[in-house]
């Protein structure tokens, strides 16, 4: 590592020595001898993950700017990955021994006098949600507290309450963005509007968001009905039928459903669970939950519900992840795939996936924390905005998304990883078939994606949209510093049949 400030060496010898983030225009990099190294580089997933040779931990916007300018000038690759550390796409793994830009000092969140909320680049859902709750406000948020807000928003921002308020990025009013060379720009509908457009759906490719401001809504008392249910595995036909009927009847904007497959390590078989969240209406929520009650004897496709827990939770608990309490565990190996459908996937395929899940985990018990989640929400608030409103390309689609998550720990010979990839890819490919998904092409939410989907499936099949994204990439990241997360092409010819590779697309001879 070149030109490292002297205080790093002092800190290595005497850990109490505090290093300024920038000294004489040079960023200070904490190295492996730093006593806080492990906690600062910890990630949700260590599978195909980036590795770091140094941690840059700025405290001010000016330090971010100076640090990024220095890295660019000296051709040092960096990743701004430590807002939530949940970025999971395998293309991140192509970045080894790079500089981590750690935004832990930018976790602020505050509601403004106009009822908008401003958050720092390092803010997580657990920083945002309680701040909103205290002010009697709400907005679309993620389901889990440990996830960084900006990482979610830059891909579009699905989450709880999107049936009411649309995507997180739809509520974005203003962003402050550090570009590859340290230049800091404002972006809004009126200032750098092209950059603002691209941030909302393809923003991982364009810069580091160091602060952003969002529209919020009154929380109407702040209570949300929540029900968690578990069923016997022979209930799958009845549960899927009930789920499908609710979706096809038309989802209420206040309703968010998750149907999940999890594995019971003690019983050595999968469990079927359902989470129902209904905003501000306990009676309506309970009515939905009762559609999954145990069936009378003799009912076709019966349901046997063995666990039922319902409560009214306030908004501060909504993203607590109580339905899946282990989801924020770090340093496991995780890999994801996804597919989507305008209603619900065909029932036979849902059963086949359940059976394949059982077979996969039974053969590889170390992967018993793997899960599948089928998330559904009304899409009218998202559809209400025009298709070209932002870089998010799936308006009017994706009523139900599946998250196919393989999770494991030890895997010394790579056996589980190989099996996990084969299983996850196979499930994705099955559910994406036209006769099962209802779409003739794959449509994949980038935050749930792997690395083998066509780029068009993530960012849109429309050539005018693709050209607009190419133009943004050329203007705001011409040397490919932000290519780690399913990189946008820098020319139109690269859209067709593009696949992720270890070629990061950086051309920096002129830097």
Q: To the nearest whole percent, how much of the chain has pLDDT over 90? A: 77
Q: pLDDT by residue (tens digit) across 57-102? A: 999 999 999 999 999 999 999 998 756 677 888 888 899 999 999 9
Q: Determine the Cα–Cα distance for residues 15 and 421; give it in Å rounded to an integer.
A: 41
8 Å CB contact between 489 and 212: no
8 Å CB contact between 477 and 199: no
Two structure tokens written together for 244: 């499908």
In the chain, CATH 3.30.465.10 sits at: 107-218
8 Å CB contact between 366 and 416: yes
pLDDT at 83: 64
In the chain, CATH 3.30.43.10 sits at: 7-105
Q: To the nearest whole percent, how much of the chain has pLDDT over 70? A: 91
8 Å CB contact between 432 and 339: yes
Which residues 6+ apart lie within 8 Å of 107 measured at CB?
120, 122, 123, 124, 127
Please identify which residue in the block is written with the tokens 């000016």: 62
- Stretch among 296-300, 303-307, 457-461 having the lowest mean pLDDT: 296-300
Is the C-alpha dihedral spanning 197, 203, 207, 208 positive or negative?
positive
pLDDT at 129: 94
Q: pLDDT by residue (tens digit) across 367-388? A: 999 999 999 999 999 999 999 9
- pLDDT greater than 50 at residue 9: no
For 380, the 3-state DSSP assignment is: helix
Please identify which residue in the block is written with the tokens 């009845």: 238
* Domain 223-456 indexed as CATH 3.40.50.620: no
Q: pLDDT by residue (tens digit) across 221-267? A: 999 999 999 999 899 999 999 999 999 999 999 999 999 999 998 88
CATH architecture of 107-218: 2-Layer Sandwich (3.30)
- pTM for the model: 0.93
For 404, the 3-state DSSP assignment is: strand
8 Å CB contact between 410 and 335: no
Helix axes 415-431 and 347-363, enclosed angle (nearest 10): 180
Which residues 6+ apart lie within 8 Å of 254 measured at CB?
163, 164, 278, 279, 280, 281, 284
Q: pLDDT by residue (tens digit) across 28-42? A: 999 999 999 988 888
Q: Per CATH, which fold does 7-105 belong to? A: 3.30.43
- pLDDT greater than 70 at residue 483: yes
């Amino acid at each position: 590592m070149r030109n490292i400030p002297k205080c790093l060496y002092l800190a290595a010898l005497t850990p109490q020595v505090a290093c300024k983030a920038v000294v004489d225009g040079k960023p200070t990099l904490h190295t492996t001898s730093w006593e806080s190294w492990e906690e600062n580089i910890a990630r949700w997933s260590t599978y195909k993950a980036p590795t770091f040779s140094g941690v840059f931990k700025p405290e001010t916007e000016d330090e971010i700017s100076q640090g990024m300018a220095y890295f660019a000038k000296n051709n040092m690759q960096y990743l701004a990955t430590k807002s939530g550390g949940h970025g999971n796409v395998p293309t991140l793994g192509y970045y080894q021994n790079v500089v981590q830009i750690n935004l832990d000092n930018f976790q602020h969140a505050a509601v403004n006098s106009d009822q908008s909320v401003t958050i720092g680049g390092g803010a997580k859902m657990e920083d945002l949600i309680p701040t909103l709750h205290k002010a009697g406000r709400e907005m679309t948020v993620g389901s889990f507290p440990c996830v960084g807000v900006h990482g979610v928003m830059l891909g579009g921002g699905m989450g709880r309450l999107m049936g009411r308020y649309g995507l997180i990025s739809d509520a974005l009013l203003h962003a402050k963005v550090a570009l590859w060379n340290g230049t800091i720009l404002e972006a809004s509908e009126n200032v750098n509007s092209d950059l603002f457009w691209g941030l909302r759906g393809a923003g991982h490719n364009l810069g580091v968001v160091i602060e952003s401001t969002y529209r919020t809504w009154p929380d109407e008392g702040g209570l949300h009905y929540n029900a968690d249910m578990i069923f016997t595995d022979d209930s799958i036909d009845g549960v899927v039928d009930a789920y499908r009927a609710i979706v096809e009847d038309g989802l209420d904007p206040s309703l968010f459903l998750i149907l999940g497959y999890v594995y019971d390590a003690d019983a050595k078989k999968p469990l079927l669970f359902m989470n129902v969240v209904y905003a501000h209406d306990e009676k309506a929520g309970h009515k939905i939950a009762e559609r999954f009650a145990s069936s009378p004897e003799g009912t076709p496709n019966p349901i046997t519900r063995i666990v039922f827990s319902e409560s009214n939770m306030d908004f501060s608990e909504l993203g607590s992840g109580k339905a899946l309490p282990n989801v924020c565990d770090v340093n496991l190996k995780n890999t994801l795939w996804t597919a989507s459908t305008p209603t619900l996937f065909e029932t036979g395929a849902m059963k086949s996936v359940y059976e394949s899940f059982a077979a996969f985990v039974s053969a590889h018990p170390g992967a018993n924390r793997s899960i599948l989640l089928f998330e559904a929400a009304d899409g009218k608030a998202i559809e209400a905005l025009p298709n070209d409103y932002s870089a998010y390309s799936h308006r009017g689609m994706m009523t139900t998304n599946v998250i196919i998550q393989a999770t494991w720990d030890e895997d010394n010979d790579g056996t589980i990883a190989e099996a996990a990839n084969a299983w996850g890819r196979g499930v994705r490919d099955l559910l994406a078939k036209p006769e099962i998904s209802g779409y003739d092409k794959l449509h994949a939410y980038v935050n749930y994606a792997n690395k083998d989907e066509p780029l068009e499936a993530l960012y849109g099949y429309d050539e005018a949209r693709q050209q607009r994204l190419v133009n943004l990439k050329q203007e705001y990241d011409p040397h490919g510093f932000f290519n780690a997360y399913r990189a946008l092409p820098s020319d139109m010819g690269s859209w067709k049949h593009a696949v992720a590779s270890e070629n990061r697309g950086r051309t920096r001879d002129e830097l």
